[in-house]
Chain A
Amino acid sequence: KQEVTQIPAALSVPEGENLVLNCSFTDSAIYNLQWFRQDPGKGLTSLLLIQSSQREQTSGRLNASLDKSSGRSTLYIAASQPGDSATYLCAVNSGYSTLTFGKGTMLLVSP
């Protein structure tokens, strides 16, 4: 059974810092990995999707990497801003497009 772990559970940083969120998964037989953002009381917004054959994906200040063999992914956020404050969820697709989610990292960026 696939299990996804996210570290740290919570992170507080001052504005402008670069930061890294970590995600690990137990079964390396995945099709893709997605990073989502969830604002309080809202649904999930897809940030980046990395296919199993890819090593990284970039969107603006966000960069996600994937090391499938070691079961790890990282989400790098450059020059963090207060508007980045949210919960970040990692999810892996192990088949039939169904996702297994981690519990998330709650990020607070202070002005």
Chain B
Amino acid sequence: NAGVTQTPKFRILKIGQSMTLQCTQDMNHNYMYWYRQDPGMGLKLIYYSVGAGITDKGEVPNGYNVSRSTTEDFPLRLELAAPSQTSVYFCASSLNRQNNQPQHFGDGTRLSIL
């Protein structure tokens, strides 16, 4: 039962570098999400997708980009890394837009920008 898989688990970047956080799910879920979690704070939604080819901004999208070319994959791109993007990033998925479907989370990517 793989569920939601995120890679890498840890990464250190220099200011101005770029990288892609990978997320894949094997549950055939339509909906996928990216959140960030800062110390002592709740999770905040960055971007979400309701299906392949469709993405939309969440609460904190600035500095990030996403794409959804397949049902399984939802990568998050940081183009010009900034110290404010140091955080733990979580990817999640859910079956569809029904009231009774929980979100399933990956184990997170811990990212430091120095």
Chain A residues with a Cβ under 8 A of chain B: 4, 31-32, 34, 36, 42-46, 49, 51-52, 89, 91, 93, 96-104
Of A32, A89, A104, the residue contacting B99 (CB under 8 A) is A32
Which single residue of chain A is at the shortest CB-CB distance from B42? A101
How many residue pairs, one in A and one in B, have C-beta atoms under 8 Å apart? 64
B90 within 8 A of A: yes
Q: Are A49 and B102 interface neighbours, CB within 8 A?
A: yes
A-B contact pairs, 9 of them (CB 8 A): A34-B102, A36-B105, A46-B102, A49-B100, A51-B100, A97-B48, A99-B103, A101-B35, A102-B42
B107 within 8 A of A: yes
Q: How many residues of B contact A (CB 8 A)?
A: 29
Do A43 and B105 contact each other (CB < 8 Å), given the known contacts A96-B50, A97-B31, A99-B45?
A: yes
Q: Are B103 and A46 interface neighbours, CB within 8 A?
A: yes
* Interfacial chain A residues near B101, Cβ < 8 Å: 49, 97
Q: In the bound complex, how far is the Cα of B99 from the Cα of A30, in angstroms?
A: 10
Q: In the bound complex, how far is the Cα of B100 from the Cα of A51, in angstroms?
A: 6
* Interfacial chain A residues near B61, Cβ < 8 Å: none
B75 within 8 A of A: no
Q: In the bound complex, how far is the Cα of B48 from the Cα of A101, in angstroms?
A: 15
Q: Are A52 and B45 interface neighbours, CB within 8 A?
A: no
Q: Are B45 and A98 interface neighbours, CB within 8 A?
A: yes
State the Cβ distance, B24 to closest chain A Cβ, in Å: 14
Of B33, B42, B99, the residue contacting A98 (CB under 8 A) is B33
B40 within 8 A of A: yes
Interface-central residue, A4, A97, A99, by most chain B CB under 10 Å: A97
Do A97 and B97 contact each other (CB < 8 Å), given the known contacts A46-B102, A103-B42?
A: yes
